């Protein structure tokens, strides 16, 4: 039977656990790597024998270890244009008649896509707010930009057509300020810097983006950064986006040689810097458990209000997981006198 004749389609994924991988349930492990995944669907795949570790079927409770090769056949329903409003809590940072500022939690998908057509921020917006505007034929009411599933932070939502048009142009013309806070591997050499290089879909792995410095592929991208605090083996930095490419910060920082801490897709989930001492390795493993996603937070957003033209500034605190992670490294660097 052809795929077109089935009620479900399938995605195939294959991952190899890094050398720094602490034992972790395979369903939780896969949640960290598959965009738009739900735990129930991953567990269903395990029940159907569709999760293999080192070529052997495993239960969802199996604990992935360093070096394990994990593969899954993951089903998703055929694409539908129907948007299901869902009563999901969202954290509203600010609201007026024209805009809505949301502080998105890590782990929440912004809009429906392959593998997950519910449980997203857009499903929540459709429930809590009526008649949000839509761009063209996209079923993404109010949405003018997005954040990755495992990136937390500030998002602006347009509440009417006029606001959507004006704010969308601001993003296109770079007429706003977006600041992110990131914890990256290594001691970043310069206190400030600019990362340039076209970003496009990786030619080896279509799930991630790559930097093409010669400009032969992809779209131009510019990321400015500033060091906030140094911890020896990792550095806390601030990033300012001059462009808005998919995975821009993640791809640019990997290209710079300083991938985001615990960013599994871009090589940050292994012990990249430090000593060979067992205590250090145990410390880093505990840090991975403290913040189980890439250490990236969209901290602030500044732009002129679409109706009043008044300068609006929105700022958010680091979420608990990132705050605890930074404190762990701060204490470690002091105690070890790095």
Task: Give per-residue pLDDT as tens, 266-315.
Answer: 999 999 988 888 999 999 999 999 999 999 999 999 999 999 999 999 99
| 310-329 tens-digit pLDDT | 999 999 999 999 999 999 99
Environment class of 7 (CB within 10 Å of its CB; exposed 0-12, middle 13-18, buried 19+): exposed
- How much is the mean pLDDT over the chain? 88
Catalytic residue among 27, 68, 148, 263: 148
Question: Is 241 in contact with 145 (CB distance < 8 Å)?
Answer: no
Question: Is 251 in contact with 275 (CB distance < 8 Å)?
Answer: no
Q: What is the mean pLDDT of residues 237-243?
A: 96
Q: How far is it, in rounded angstroms, from Cα 184 to Cα 186?
A: 6
State yes or no: is 35 an active-site residue: no
Q: How far is it, in rounded angstroms, from Cα 171 to Cα 156?
A: 11
**Residue among 255, 127, 232 at smallest CA distance from 186:** 232
Find the helix packing angle between 320-336 and 278-290, rounded to 10°: 160
| 113-157 tens-digit pLDDT | 765 677 899 999 989 998 888 765 567 888 889 999 999 999 999
Q: Which residues contact 102 (CB under 8 A, 6 or more apart)?
A: 90, 91, 92, 93, 121, 154, 155, 156, 157
**Is pLDDT above 70 for 163?**
yes
> How high is the pLDDT of residue 116?
65
Question: Is 71 in contact with 93 (CB distance < 8 Å)?
Answer: no
Q: How far is it, in rounded angstroms, from Cα 196 to Cα 252?
A: 8
Question: Is 221 in contact with 168 (CB distance < 8 Å)?
Answer: no
Q: How far is it, in rounded angstroms, from Cα 243 to Cα 200?
A: 13
- pLDDT range class, residue 1, cuts 50, 70, 90: very low
> Domains along the chain?
3-77 (3.10.290.10), 92-173 (3.30.2350.10), 178-303+312-336 (3.30.2350.10)
């Amino acid at each position: 039977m052809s795929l077109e004749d089935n009620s479900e389609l399938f995605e195939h994924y294959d991952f190899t656990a890094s050398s720094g991988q602490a034992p972790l349930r395979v369903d939780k492990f896969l949640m960290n790597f598959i965009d738009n995944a739900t735990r129930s669907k991953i567990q269903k795949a395990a029940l159907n024998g569709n999760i293999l570790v080192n070529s052997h079927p495993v239960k969802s409770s199996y604990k992935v270890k360093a070096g394990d090769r994990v593969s899954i056949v993951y089903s998703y329903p055929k694409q539908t244009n129907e948007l299901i409003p869902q009563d999901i809590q969202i954290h509203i940072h600010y609201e007026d008649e024209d805009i809505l500022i949301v502080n998105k939690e890590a782990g929440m998908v912004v809009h429906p896509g392959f593998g997950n057509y519910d449980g997203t921020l857009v499903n929540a917006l459709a429930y809590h707010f009526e008649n949000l505007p839509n761009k063209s034929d996209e079923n993404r009411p109010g949405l003018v930009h997005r954040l990755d599933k495992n990136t937390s932070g500030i998002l602006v939502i347009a509440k009417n057509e006029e606001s959507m048009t004006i704010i969308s142009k601001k993003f296109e013309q770079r007429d706003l300020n977006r600041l992110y806070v990131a914890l990256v591997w290594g001691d970043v050499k310069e206190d400030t810097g600019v990362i340039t290089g076209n970003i496009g879909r990786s030619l080896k792995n279509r799930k991630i983006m790559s930097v093409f410095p010669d400009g032969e592929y992809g779209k131009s991208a510019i990321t400015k950064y500033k060091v906030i605090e140094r911890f020896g083996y990792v550095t806390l930095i601030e990033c300012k986006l001059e462009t808005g490419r998919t995975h821009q910060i993640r791809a640019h920082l990997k290209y710079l040689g300083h991938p985001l801490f615990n960013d599994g897709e871009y090589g940050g989930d292994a012990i990249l810097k430090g000593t060979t001492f067992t205590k250090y390795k145990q410390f880093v493993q505990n840090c991975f458990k403290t913040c189980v996603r890439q250490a990236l937070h969209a901290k602030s957003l500044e732009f002129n209000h679409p109706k009043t033209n008044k300068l609006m500034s929105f700022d958010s605190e680091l979420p608990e997981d990132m705050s605890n992670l930074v404190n762990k490294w701060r204490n470690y660097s002091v105690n070890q006198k790095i």
